[in-house]
Chains A and B, each alone.
Chain A
Amino acid sequence: DTAVSQTPKYLVTQMGNDKSIKCEQNLGHDTMYWYKQDSKKFLKIMFSYNNKELIINETVPNRFSPKSPDKAHLNLHINSLELGDSAVYFCASSQVFRPSSYEQYFGPGTRLTVT
């Protein structure tokens, strides 16, 4: 059983389109995250939800909107895609948010290419 799953694995789309990435975890964790990893491999946290409540909202364009229908799911919707949005997006989860001593489990990633 996959602990953290994401769909789709690859996403190729044109500038200006709107797209969504879905994430599900079956670990029973309370906290989920979205990360963006650029071509230089830097991991940048974008959002974090704890029990469906937004707790981290880093400086991210408001074209990115997360949504957590329940604590096992965290989706990411992106409007008006731009070339600079091309990256790998990782979903992750951890048992709780505080204390932050619990390890994070990452999904396989979604490689987004905007042309």
Chain B
Amino acid sequence: GQQVMQIPQYQHVQEGEDFTTYCNSSTTLSNIQWYKQRPGGHPVFLIQLVKSGEVKKQKRLTFQFGEAKKNSSLHITATQTTDVGTYFCAGPPDSNYQLIWGAGTKLIIKP
């Protein structure tokens, strides 16, 4: 069946270092959505990418959608303690299908 693989599962960084999480789909995605879940919280929508090769920025966060619409990445520059949480990607293989979720990448800031 359709799968969205997300790596790494965990990433430990020092505050101020960069962080990247990657999503790879076994099939072309209609769009890709990114969510953030703070510890003890619920997933919160961050952004959606629709076009092939699309790049969007939100302050220190940069989101990319691959040319083949099968992969995506989220890059955080100069992480801060407020960035701690689990980042999920999710996308449907076509717009008539439900979201397929990645397993999430947990960002941990080393003390």
Task: List the interface of chain A (C-beta within 8 A of B).
Answer: 40-45, 48, 56, 90, 92, 97-101, 103-109
Question: Number of B residues whose C-beta is below 8 Å from A?
Answer: 24
B101 contacts the other chain (Cβ, under 8 Å)? yes
Chain B residues, Cβ within 8 Å of A42: 101, 103-104
If A41-B104, A43-B88 touch, whether A90 touches B50 (CB-CB below 8 Å) is no
B86 to chain A: closest residue by CB: A41
**Chain A: minimal CB distance from B75 (Å):** 21
* Most chain A beta-carbon neighbours within 10 Å: one of B33, B41, B42, B92: B42
Chain B residues with Cβ under 8 A from A107's Cβ?
A: 42
Interface of B: prevailing SS? loop
**Pick from A44, A97, A105, A108: contact of B45, CB under 8 Å:** A105
When A41-B86, A41-B106, A42-B103 are in contact, do A104 and B45 touch as well, CB less than 8 Å? Answer: yes
Contact B33–A109 (Cβ < 8 Å): no
**Docked CA distance A98–B103 (Å):** 23
- By a CB distance below 8 angstroms, the chain A residues around B27 are none
Bound CA–CA A41/B86 (angstroms): 8
A contact residues around B33 at 8 Å (CB): 103-104
A56 / chain B contacts, CB cutoff of 8 Å: 98
Q: Check: B96 CB closer than 8 A to any chain A CB.
A: yes
Min CB distance A74 to B, Å, is 15
A43 touches B104 (CB 8 A): yes
Closest to A56 in B: B98
Interface flags, B43-56, vs A, CB<8A=1, else 0: 11100101000000
Q: What are the nearest 4 A-B pairs in CB distance?
A: A99-B95, A103-B45, A106-B42, A100-B92
Do B96 and A98 have beta carbons less than 8 Å apart? yes
Residues on the B chain within 8 Å of A100, using CB: 30-31, 92, 95-99
Contact A101 B95 (CB under 8 A): yes
Would A109 and B42 be within 8 Å (CB), given that A41-B104, A42-B104, A43-B88 are in contact? yes
